[in-house]
Structure 1
Amino acid sequence: MTTIHTYRPSRSDIVGMWAFLGAGVVIAGGAVAAAVLRIIEVLPNHDVQVGARFSGTVAEAPIGPDGTALPVMLDRATITAESLPTASLVALVIEQVAAALTIVVVVTCLVILSRSVMRGQVFSRRNTRLVTTAGFTGLIGFAAVPFFGNMAANGAFAGLSDGTFDNVVMSVDLTPLILIAFIAAMAGVVFAIGDRLQRDTEGLV
């Protein structure tokens, strides 16, 4: 006879996972709502506010004595464009869709994983796929969202400066990107090894 040993979560574990499930639903719902509101805000394409990054740009800020303006190095700012080119407006919408979709996919995978753990099954091929999907969806989303945001900023700068301002930064912060990739890969490996060890153990019982 083959006996399959499953993990039995304690009552405190179940309470914690239910709290996690509830938090996941709230996070996913909030992300979708924020994306929809932002899209509704920008679609009229009038006085569109866009986040932008700068490099080597000097501005003045009232930080001196009695509010005296002093030069500062501008890194990030929100700029308002009277309107955006169609391509930039589409990029801005895609940015919001990508952000919401990334969060929804990651949360959905983790919620399904938590439900599986609550039923006593931690390591399985399905759980390995869920962890891997969540990790690499987050990785792709983390890179895609600022990319499309930068495209929108390019259009705003082009409209404000008649195409004469060329100091726009097109970049993605690589440090957290590498960290996310490492965590996703490590989690996938751990669950794959756990699944294989569990199947080998069950075959020996």
Structure 2
Amino acid sequence: MNSRDGRMSMTEGVVLGMFATGAVSIGVASATGAVGAGIEIFGSPVPVPLPVQGVAMTGLTGADGVAAAEYTQSVVSLETLDAGVRWLLLAEAALPALATVIVCATLWWLGLSLIRQRAFRHSMAPMLGTAAIGLVVAGLLAPMFGAFGRAQVVEQLAASGVDTGDFWTFLYSADLAPVGWGIALALVATAFEVGQRLQRETEGLV
């Protein structure tokens, strides 16, 4: 609750500071994870998760209370992998991390602006809009890059004489949750844009 003179209370400042610090920590962790994924992808051997077409788990066949059991993914480690495939797999891991860093930077800036009681900064709406676009792009393009990369891995295995009948030749599966959050952030950015306009109009009347 604000004090009588309109200043933010100490409790509010501490809470907002904790949120801002948490946003920075999450952003750093996401960036570190992306770097680790890049080191793994450009190392050797390269573990690549490949989706399989429902291969039965024979170990559970006929087990008590089990109606059906099957594998949906297999991790294949390759000693050699084309650079183009590595970049596609890196893009799959890096895009969500980049979107997370942008969102966390925006939340940190928002928290700092609220602490200073300057929420309707001119930079706030563009930052929220950028974070919204980042979430939508990462949510849709990251799994597509991964799907193309894994498809090329399957082609490489088939060319080497491996039976790839159990693998999907191409499987694109997008998580729409980041897209939904991106749309929500876009609405928040619009609200901040309206708030800035109202603030300018109010200041012009004073």
TM range (shorter): 0.7 to 0.9
Counterpart among 51, 54, 59 of residue 58 in structure 1: 54
Q: 2:12 and 2:60 mapped to 1: Cα distance?
A: 51
Question: Aligned AA for 2:177?
Answer: P
Other structure's SS at 1:121 match: coil
Q: Residues 131 and 182 of structure 2 are in contact (CA less than 8 Å); yes or no, is this contact kept in structure 1? A: no
Aligned runs of 1:162-181 on 2, under 5 Å? 162=159, 165=165, 167-173=169-175, 175-181=176-182
Distance 1:178 1:109, change over 3 A: closer
Shift of 1:162: 2.8
Other structure's SS at 2:48 match: strand
Q: 2:120 and 2:40 mapped to 1: Cα distance?
A: 44
Q: Residues 92 and 148 of structure 1 are in contact (CA less than 8 Å); yes or no, is this contact kept in structure 2? A: yes
Whether 1:26 aligns to 2:22 is: no
Shift of 1:35: 1.6
Q: Which residue of 1 aligns with 2:47?
A: 49
Q: Which residue of 1 aligns with 2:195?
A: 194
Q: 1:170 and 1:125 mapped to 2: Cα distance?
A: 39
Shift of 1:140: 1.5
| Greater RCO (CA < 8 Å, at least 6 residues apart) | 1
Q: 2:134 and 2:108 mapped to 1: Cα distance?
A: 15
Other structure's SS at 1:50 match: strand
Q: Residues 109 and 131 of structure 1 are in contact (CA less than 8 Å); yes or no, is this contact kept in structure 2? A: yes
Q: Structure 1: give runs of 5+ residues left out of the alignment.
A: 1-5
Q: Deviations over 1:97-127 (max 9, x none)?
A: 3233222222112211211111001123211
Question: Aligned AA for 1:23?
Answer: G
Q: 1:180 and 1:125 mapped to 2: Cα distance?
A: 22
Shift of 1:197: 1.5
Q: Which residue of 2 aligns with 1:35?
A: 34
Distance 1:147 1:9, change over 3 A: farther
| TM-score, length basis structure 1 | 0.80
Percent identity of equivalent pairs: 24
Distance 1:66 1:74, change over 3 A: closer
Q: Deviations over 1:12-40 (max 9, x none)?
A: 22111111122122112211221222222
Shift of 1:72: 4.1
Q: 1:23 and 1:177 mapped to 2: Cα distance?
A: 19
Other structure's SS at 1:58 match: strand
Q: 2:9 and 2:50 mapped to 1: Cα distance?
A: 48
Number of residue pairs aligned between Structure 1 and Structure 2: 195
Q: 1:7 and 1:129 mapped to 2: Cα distance?
A: 27
Q: Which residue of 1 aligns with 2:124?
A: 127
Q: 2:86 and 2:179 mapped to 1: Cα distance?
A: 29
Q: Which residue of 2 aligns with 1:144?
A: 141
| TM-score, length basis structure 2 | 0.79
